[in-house]
């Protein structure tokens, strides 16, 4: 691309920046014609800002050979006729003036790229600051949760201790109840044994009474017999 064509591109920069939308199909058509390299296509495609895509495209074109200007203008004829006409008009002006002045890459392109780069850096910095704030917030919440977990852990330990005491009390209560049942059975058995002893004692007393009565009856008979015998003896003597 010669200096006049570069100057014409520079003059149309603001118009391109305002109206041109370098879609994927548009960029790949330039790639198919050999105007852009695969690396340049990737760089433009990965850029999310339309204005930055335009700035990159205009930055690459002046270094893509003598046919780059003509091919680019022909591509504009399809969907951007007004841009193609403006570009052609600017080129005629450059040719009529006949200027051979060296034309560096348009300062606005570089400024735009720098602005977009700075904007991207600022955006990344803002995202990073936001992420740091979020991490700090998460850390505070984690510390808060840790303190809450410690408090809950202490409560759980106390509840476990109470549960151990309760289980101990239940075991002791069961043992006490078991002992009470055993003592109750022993008491019933003892009561039965006492009743049996009472019955046996009563029986023995009855037997003893009967024996005493028989002995008393024997004594009474003996006394009577002795008395009768004495009376008989006295009668015999008298006779």
Output the furthest CA–CA distance in the chain (Å, rounded): 213
pTM of the shown model: 0.44
Highest-confidence segment of 36-40, 100-104, 205-209 = 36-40
* CATH architecture for the domain at 3-105: Orthogonal Bundle (1.10)
Nearest to 54 by CA among 14, 84, 90, 1: 14
* Residue 35: DSSP 8-state: S
Q: Give pLDDT, residue 40.
A: 92
Contact 90, 12 (CB under 8 A): yes
Angle between helices 81-97 and 68-79 (to 10 degrees): 140
Instruction: Please tell me which residue, 236 or 40, carries the higher pLDDT value.
Output: 40
Instruction: Tell me, rounded to whole angstroms, the distance of Cα 114 from its chain centroid.
Output: 44
Q: Where are the domains of the chain?
A: 3-105
Percent of the chain surpassing pLDDT 90: 19
Look over the chain and give the mean of its residue pLDDT values, rounded to a whole number: 83
Q: What is the pLDDT of residue 137?
A: 86
Q: 102 pLDDT band (50/70/90 cuts)?
A: very low
């Amino acid at each position: 691309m010669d200096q006049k064509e570069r100057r014409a591109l520079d003059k149309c920069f603001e118009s391109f920046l305002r109206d041109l939308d370098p879609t994927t199909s548009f960029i790949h058509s330039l790639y198919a014609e050999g105007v852009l390299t695969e690396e340049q296509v990737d760089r433009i495609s990965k850029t999310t800002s339309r204005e930055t895509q335009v700035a990159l495209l205009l930055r690459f074109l002046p270094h893509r050979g003598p046919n780059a200007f003509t091919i680019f203008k022909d591509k504009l004829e399809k969907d951007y006729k007004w841009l193609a006409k403006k570009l052609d008009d600017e080129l005629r002006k450059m040719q009529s003036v006949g200027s051979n002045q060296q034309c560096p890459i348009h300062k606005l392109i570089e400024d735009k790229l720098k602005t977009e780069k700075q904007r991207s850096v600022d955006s990344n910095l803002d995202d990073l600051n936001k992420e740091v704030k979020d991490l700090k917030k998460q850390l505070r919440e984690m510390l808060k949760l840790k303190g809450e977990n410690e408090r809950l852990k202490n409560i759980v330990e106390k509840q476990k201790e109470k549960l151990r005491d309760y289980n101990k009390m239940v075991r002791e209560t069961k043992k006490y109840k078991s002992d009470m049942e055993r003592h109750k059975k022993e008491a019933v058995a003892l009561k039965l044994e006492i009743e049996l002893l009472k019955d046996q004692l009563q029986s023995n007393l009855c037997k003893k009474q009967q024996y005493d009565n028989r002995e008393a009856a024997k004594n009474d008979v003996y006394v009577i017999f002795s008395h009768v015998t004495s009376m008989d003896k006295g009668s015999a003597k008298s006779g």
